[in-house]
Amino acid sequence: MSLVSWAELLAGGLITGGIYALVAIGLNLQYGLMRIMNISHGEFLMLGAFITWWAHTSFGISPFVLMPLAFVLLGALGMLIHVLCFRGIAARAPNVDVFEARSLMVGFGLMFAVQNAALIIWGGDLRGYEYLAQPVELAGMRFTENKLVIFAVALALSLGFVALLKFTLLGKAVRALMQSPTGAQLVGINTKRLHPLMFGVGLGLSGVAGALLSMTYEITPSMGEPYTVTALIVITLGGFGSIAGSLAGGLLLGLVEALGMHFSSPSLKMLLSYGVFIAVLLWRPNGLFSRK
């Protein structure tokens, strides 16, 4: 392989990893802050993709306009879901372990409910559209424009959210709750407002990831589940509760998959991902990156 071919391979892995990171940050935020292992997280990525596809193909609205709309719509839906489904469970659970188990079961119910709702509304056929599909050359490497947009937007949002958590008062409150929920409440942090807001932000990020994916991949009501699994692998790599670790873990997994598929077979992609997942659990169960 030439140097340019190696660069294209690694860049392709980073593009995929950018999406992985964006989805994983949302899921890690929900678990790190509220101990909600939302197994339905990927289904809201699917909703973001279908909303973007439907609005673009029906009304000609640009996906760039629909990305913030997807964030707002999925964020509002997430806040509603938290209030209706998870707040009551948290109030009645005798301890955190029971709450995690019950929230996991609720997540499974939400996953099938959202999937079947999408099937009723849009059907089970593959959907897609072309947008910014022209090839461009960058430093001797060739990519389609939409994949460069995917990476740029996913990386910018991920870095922006990491910066928000690190440098803003809201971010300090979120990090305080992640480190010590009891201590954060004692200093006056309002969990009744912060929990649904952050749950909504997590689903909003997933919706934006779906909007980005719809620009370059075909979409289907069953597309969300693999991204939930991948997000779980990423947050295991980066560390539960570490938002910066999710970003690094997503990019790392994208690179590992790209190299693995090149040297072996594309059909071994998930096997490779699970192999990395198991190896990290055995070697560094707290993740490759320290919790921030």
In a domain, 290, yes or no: no
Mean pLDDT for the chain overall: 88
Q: Per-residue pLDDT tens for 184-201?
A: 777 778 888 889 999 999
Q: What CATH number should be reported for the domain holding residue 92?
A: 1.10.3470
Q: Per-residue pLDDT tens for 24-79?
A: 999 999 988 888 989 999 999 999 999 999 999 999 999 999 999 999 999 999 99
Residue 137 host element (H or E): strand 135-138
Residue 292 clears pLDDT 60, i.e. is over it = no
Provide the number of structural domains found in the chain.
Answer: 1
Q: Per-residue pLDDT tens for 206-225?
A: 999 999 999 999 999 999 99
In a domain, 291, yes or no: no
In a domain, 130, yes or no: yes
Q: Which domain, by its residues, includes 240?
A: 10-283
